[in-house]
Amino acid sequence: MSITREKLVDAYTTMVKIRTFEEHAAQLFAEGKIPGFVHLYVGEEAVAAGVCATLRDSDYITSTHRGHGHLISKGGDVKRMMAELFGKRTGYCKGKGGSMHIADMTLGIMGANGIVGGGPPLAAGAGFACKYLGRDDVAVCFFGDGAANQGTTHEAMNLASCWKLPVVFVNENNRYGISCSVDRATCVTDIADKAAAFDMPAVSVDGNDLMAVYEAASEAVERARRGAGPTLIECKTYRQRGHFEGDPAGYRSPEEVAEWKAKDPIPRLEKKLLEMGVLAEDRIREIRAGVLAEVEEAVRFAEESPLPDPSEVTEDVYA
Amino acid sequence: MALVGIIANPASGKDIRRLVAFGSVFDNQEKVRIVRRVLLGLAAMGMERVCYMPDTYHIVERALRRIQVPLEVFPADFRARGEPSDSTEAARVMEALGTGCVVTLGGDGTNRVVAKGSCAVPVLPISTGTNNVFPAMIEATVAGLAAALVARGLVPEEEATFRSTQLEVLRDGEPADLALVDAVVCDDVFLGSRAVWDIAKVRQIVLNRAAPGSIGFSSIGGLLHAVAPDAPEGLYLELGPGGRPVTAPVAPGLIETVGVTTLRVLGVGDRVEVRGAPAVVALDGEREVEVTGRERVSIRLSPHGPRVVDVERTMAAAARRGVLAPRRRGGRPCPATPNVPTS
């Protein structure tokens, strides 16, 4: 599996952008500037960046309640994202959706989703549309270990396999559904094992290793594009923060958290890129500074944007 | 009191070869069922104590939920991290406890990391991986019986086992890693998803086992010159254009024709230099060693591999000794049972 140096640098930049965005969101939430809930993607960046590096704009993704990383990796505009988190009119949903409803159909982002297991049927539908219309685009469904226990996920995987739909199911097994560990809530804790029930190939990879994710996703996406059907990729990873901001996460031991922080995907990739000579220290500083400026600009944009007018409350609603 | 170890790897049989080839996912619930039968075999043969590797899927604990066996079953005393190093640590602990035989569930990769922890305790490898040359596809019940026969000394070790060779990876002459079947040099810079499937990237192959009927890189060598598991020799192959074409099953469902430009039989102690950098050396099918060019990397055939339990040989020795079919005191041996027609 080959990857260009340019693509590697892009993926690294994306991962740094996700981390920076999330760290700002955490701080702003703590300051009371962000209403509602935010679920942060810190620690899982290699999954979204690795998978989306194999996609094009016309491909689709469905996301989850922990969606910022997916949206940024698929090219989402951080200004409009941050404005949405702030509930401002310039946000992706005009400030009415918040973190869990951001979508951008021009980029194939079918939306973050507050419903656990809400994404898989949407991805199967998008995959069906691609096949029906004769397009070689694919749909990628990000879902968590909690969603792996939902009926909707199994129904979507079954139909995707029956109809050989161009769907890649990407399971982010971060070991916890809210506060419940996968060992307590799931009988078969290796999500990849479940694909056998749908005669679907599956692979389990280190979700904190960008290249491991990229290699698996490249093969799965290529397979989907040539009409060979869906694939399940289980990415074993970890969310470094609580389920939502404000969650003290007392259900995890400090040792466990420390162990996973030692496997943080960003320093891991950075070290490799330095060793390979793909990036030098000064270029890394430049990338980090550029990303920081972009996110700070997004925060300014959000802060300065107007709130929706109460008169707009019934606009853009379906029912 | 005799002790048997069980190392069941929850991560085996799930790598990218399910995607790039046609490998089956080996689900952990099947490993639970296999361990269950191993435990029943051990108990039937009079074992009393079993030490197991703690793992994230709790394979052995789950196996015990459905059976009642007169065994003291306890975990090796360390915290599982869900990493390959768990198997290495478990092997180390089991050796320190004086274990008489370790039953492993995994593929070549699993047994490699077990060997990194201990080569002293006889290992009985049951195949639950992908490209399996080192472990065997054997019925777990019989494996349990055989492990107990060895651990309890009912069959002498020299009749039940053989000493495998292994391949040592040397960095600037110092041992850095090992392989039990093959060490393969590929044009790559990342360890990534670990497996090797793009044969066009493979430059050099070093084997200490080669059989025409096996799968993976070992089959390429085996089709040219077979090397038995207990033979003190190995093979060195270079691949490239214009070489002798060899068509071999390099992964499940993946049959490739490669050009072999060099074939050399290796003796114990012979060393092969890794040429060209950057490169990655895959050990037993998994990319493990990055070669940056800043140091000399070589591969040496060593006679000090693990001692391996041969189940067929063990059961044959047990039969010769009448361990499972003792003669009645003062009586004559049972007459052979005639074949009974079934229809």
Identity of the residue numbered B131 = N
pLDDT-derived band at B196 (thresholds 50, 70, 90) equals confident
Give chain A's end-to-end CA distance (angstroms, integer): 48
Mean pLDDT of B147-163: 97
CB pairs under 8 A between A and B: 79
∠ at Cα A34 (A30, A40), nearest 5°? 70
Q: Quick one: pLDDT at residue A12? A: 98
Is residue A50 within 8 Å of A74, Cβ to Cβ? no
∠ at Cα B144 (B139, B159), nearest 5°? 95
Q: What is the pLDDT of residues A51-74, one digit of tens each?
A: 999 999 999 999 999 999 999 999
The answer to whether A211 contacts B58, with C-beta atoms less than 8 Å apart, is no
Q: Quick one: pLDDT at residue B244? A: 97
CA distances from B274 to A71, B174, B235, B277 (A): 43, 14, 15, 9
Assess whether pLDDT exceeds 80 at residue B338.
no
The C-alpha atoms of residue B33 and residue B155 are separated, in whole angstroms, by: 26
pLDDT-derived band at B340 (thresholds 50, 70, 90) equals very low
> Token digits for B21?
């080839």
Identity of the residue numbered B124 = L
Minimal Cβ distance to A219: which of B11, B20, B81: B20
Lowest mean pLDDT among A27-31, A224-228, B185-189: B185-189
Chain B residues touching A212 at Cβ < 8 A:
191-194
**Is this complex scored with an ipTM above 0.85?**
no
Least Cα distance to A84 among A28, A23, A19 occurs for: A28
pLDDT-derived band at A1 (thresholds 50, 70, 90) equals low
Q: Quick one: pLDDT at residue B299? A: 97
**Best CATH choice for the domain B166-302 from the list 3.40.50, 2.60.200, 1.20.58, 2.60.40:** 2.60.200
B contact test, residue of A182, A186, A203, A278 with most B CBs within 10 A: A203
Domain segments of chain B: what residues?
3-164+306-320, 166-302
Q: What is the pLDDT of residues A78-126, one digit of tens each?
A: 999 999 999 999 999 999 999 999 999 999 999 999 999 999 999 999 9
Q: What rounded mean pLDDT belongs to chain B?
A: 92
B contact test, residue of A168, A199, A211, A257 with most B CBs within 10 A: A211
Which chain A residue's Cα is nearest to B62?
Answer: A187
Q: What is the pLDDT of residues B287-325, one digit of tens each?
A: 889 888 889 999 999 999 999 999 999 999 999 999 999
| DSSP codes joined into one string, B41-59 | HHHHTT--EEEE---TT-H
Q: What is the pLDDT of residues A270-294, one digit of tens each?
A: 999 999 899 999 999 999 999 999 9
> Token digits for B151?
């651990």
* Residue bearing tokens 């391949």: B167
For the stretch B195-229, what's the b/e string if a residue is b when 16 or more beta carbons lie within 10 angstroms of its beta carbon?
bbbebebbbbbbbbbbbeebbbbbbbbbbeebbeb
Mean pLDDT of A32-48: 96
* Residue bearing tokens 């196996």: B63
Lowest mean pLDDT among A152-161, A310-319, B55-64: A310-319
Mean pLDDT of A15-20: 98
Chain A residues at the B interface, defined by Cβ less than 8 Å, are 1, 3, 183, 188-190, 192-193, 195-196, 201-205, 209, 211-212, 214-216, 219-220, 223, 231, 234, 236, 259, 272, 275-276
Dihedral of alpha carbons A89, A94, A98, A103, sign: negative
Residue A133 DSSP symbol: T
Identify the residue with better confidence: B329 or B246. B246
CB under 8 Å to A266, separation ≥6 — which residues? Answer: A12, A15, A16, A19, A45
Within 13 Å of residue B126, how many CA atoms lie on the same side as its CB? Answer: 27
Q: Quick one: pLDDT at residue A138? A: 98
> How do strand A231-236 and strand A60-62 relate by DSSP bridges?
unpaired
Assess whether pLDDT exceeds 90 at residue B170.
yes
Chain B residues touching A223 at Cβ < 8 A:
19
Assess whether pLDDT exceeds 50 at residue B342.
no
Is residue A231 within 8 Å of A168, Cβ to Cβ? yes
Mean pLDDT of B230-243: 95
Q: What is the pLDDT of residues B55-105, one digit of tens each?
A: 988 999 999 998 999 999 999 999 998 889 999 999 999 999 999 999 999
> Token digits for A82?
């941050």
pLDDT-derived band at B333 (thresholds 50, 70, 90) equals low
The answer to whether A211 contacts B57, with C-beta atoms less than 8 Å apart, is no
**What is the percent of chain B with per-residue pLDDT over 70, rounded to a whole number?**
96
Is residue B4 within 8 Å of B147, Cβ to Cβ? yes
Q: Quick one: pLDDT at residue B256? A: 94
Q: Quick one: pLDDT at residue A69? A: 98
Q: What is the pLDDT of residues A288-312, one digit of tens each?
A: 999 999 999 999 999 999 999 999 8
The answer to whether A215 contacts B193, with C-beta atoms less than 8 Å apart, is yes
Minimal Cβ distance to B19: which of A212, A214, A216: A216
The answer to whether A211 contacts B82, with C-beta atoms less than 8 Å apart, is no
Q: Quick one: pLDDT at residue B23? A: 83
Q: Helix crossing, A281-304 with A265-276: angle to 10°? A: 140
Q: Quick one: pLDDT at residue A57? A: 94
Q: What is the pLDDT of residues B19-46, one digit of tens each?
A: 878 888 888 999 999 999 999 999 999 9
Coil, strand or helix at A57: coil
Coil, strand or helix at B263: strand
The answer to whether B278 contacts A1, with C-beta atoms less than 8 Å apart, is no
pLDDT-derived band at B343 (thresholds 50, 70, 90) equals very low
Minimal Cβ distance to B193: which of A216, A272, A276: A216
**What is the percent of chain B with per-residue pLDDT over 90, rounded to a whole number?**
76
Chain A residues touching B192 at Cβ < 8 A:
1, 209, 211-212, 214-215
CA distances from B190 to A64, A135, B17, B278 (A): 30, 33, 17, 10
Q: Does domain B3-164+306-320 have CATH number 3.40.50?
A: yes
Report the DSSP beta bridge partners of residue B309. B161
> How do strand B182-186 and strand B279-283 relate by DSSP bridges?
antiparallel
Mean pLDDT of B265-280: 93
B contact test, residue of A194, A204, A225, A272 with most B CBs within 10 A: A204
- For the domain spanning A5-305, the CATH number is 3.40.50.970
CA distances from B313 to B155, B159, B164 (A): 10, 7, 15
Q: Quick one: pLDDT at residue A74? A: 98
Alpha-carbon distance B236 to nearest alpha carbon in chain A (angstroms): 25
Is residue B121 within 8 Å of B280, Cβ to Cβ? no
Mean pLDDT of B137-147: 97
The C-alpha atoms of residue B121 and residue A64 are separated, in whole angstroms, by: 48
Is residue A93 within 8 Å of A316, Cβ to Cβ? yes
The two counts, helices (H) then strands (E), for chain B are 9, 17
Q: Quick one: pLDDT at residue B191? A: 80
* Biggest CA pair distance of chain B: 73
- Alpha-carbon Rg for chain A, nearest whole angstrom, is 19
pLDDT-derived band at A212 (thresholds 50, 70, 90) equals very high
